[in-house]
Structures are given as C-alpha cells and as structure tokens.
A and B are shown apart, each in its own frame.
Chain A
Amino acid sequence: AQKITQTQPGMFVQEKEAVTLDCTYDTSDPSYGLFWYKQPSSGEMIFLIYQGSYDQQNATEGRYSLNFQKARKSANLVISASQLGDSAMYFCAMRALSGAGSYQLTFGKGTKLSVIP
C-alpha cells in the first residue's frame, strides 16, 4: 500500500519569493514515481514535475524543482519566484513502477498555496 502525507493544509508566500511545499510518502514498492500536480480554482489538475525513485538528480521544470530525499521518503516541491498565478491547490502523488497496480496514482490531501502581492 502507498500513502502520501502533505502536512501543510495552507501556505502563504510573498510574490517573487520562493516557497517549499512538503510531501512525505510511504511505500513498500522497490521502484516508484513521484508527481506534483497543481489545481487552480477552475478544477483542472495540471502536471508540474516528475521524479523517479531511481533518478540520481533532483528533477527541475522551469520554476519548479523537486527536493527528493529518498532516505527520508520526502519529495518536497520548491517553487521559485512565486507569481500570483501560482495560487492554487498543490497535490503530491505517487505510483508504483512495477506490479499489477501501477496504474494507481495515489494522491495526498493537498496544500493550498496563496501568493500575496
């Protein structure tokens, strides 16, 4: 079984500042993938970044980077130079990369980020 924990229900950040959204996970799968999604008020979930458990380097996508610490089972999302449009719900998710249940993407409860002008 997999579990994702996001301990920050809500976060505030000043525009142009960096912010870190926490995510810890628990799994018995030997290989897995970690994802972050953004959900604006429109409802659509938007993929942001992916990290494989076997990847040696932390993933980066533009202003998004993933601080992956395998031993701690954490996969925190770092957003640099926050913009007003970053205000949204952010979800951490994971998938096993082998086995019968690899179609299952398990999500955390999310963190609501508010960017202050």
Chain B
Amino acid sequence: ETGVTQTPRHLVMGMTNKKSLKCEQHLGHNAMYWYKQSAKKPLELMFVYSLEERVENNSVPSRFSPECPNSSHLFLHLHTLQPEDSALYLCASSTGWASNEKLFFGSGTQLSVL
C-alpha cells in the first residue's frame, strides 16, 4: 500500500463544473499539503494543514477550497476554475516541519480545465 494516495489520477473539467480531489495518507503523519505544479514553474505551496487545522493559505483564489476532516484525509474542492488552473496537483504529508523532516508525495492529479 502506497504511503500517499491521490484520486483521481486524471481529471478533465469545464469551467462551470464542481469537482473534488482526494488525498489519503497511511503514514500516521500530522501535516498535509497541497502543491500546484505548472509547466516550467516551480512547485507552488497552496495549503498546509497541521492536525486538521489550516496553517497557511498562500493567497490561493477562493475557487480552490481545501478540507481536512481528519489527519489522514485531505480534499481540494474545485469550482468555476480557469484554463490557467490546469496543472498537476500534488498532495504531500509529513510528521512535521522540523529540520530534516521530508515530505512524502502522492502521484498527483493531472487537471485539465477546458
């Protein structure tokens, strides 16, 4: 069983649709993250949760809405997206963020907005 599982792997949606991305971690970690990976740009941190409390929202547009119901699950709710939101969305988890704490990533959801 992989440590961090993301579903779906691929998603195509219209600008008026509502969809959700799901992330589940089986590592017993306390922190979960959403990152956006666009072509030719560095990974961008979108949201951070620690023990189900949101720690950071990096000025992400309100059309992205995260939800962390427990320390194992993280969702990203999407509505009225724009074509420029097409990207790979990566979920990650960690025990915390002290010194050499590494992030464990899922395989991502490749999102295409038409």
Contact = CB atoms under 8 A, between A and B. Distances in A.
Report if A and B associate in a common complex: yes
A46 B99 CA distance: 18
Interface in B35-91: 40-43, 45, 48, 50, 55-56, 88, 90
Contact of B107 (A43, A91, A102): A43
Contacts, number: 52
B42 A44 contact: no
B103 A105 contact: yes
A28 interface: no
A35 interface: yes
A33 B107 contact: no
B100 A109 contact: no
Interface of B: 31, 40-43, 45, 48, 50, 55-56, 88, 90, 92, 97-100, 102-108, 110
Interface of A: 4, 33, 35, 37, 42-47, 50, 52, 91, 95, 97, 102-110
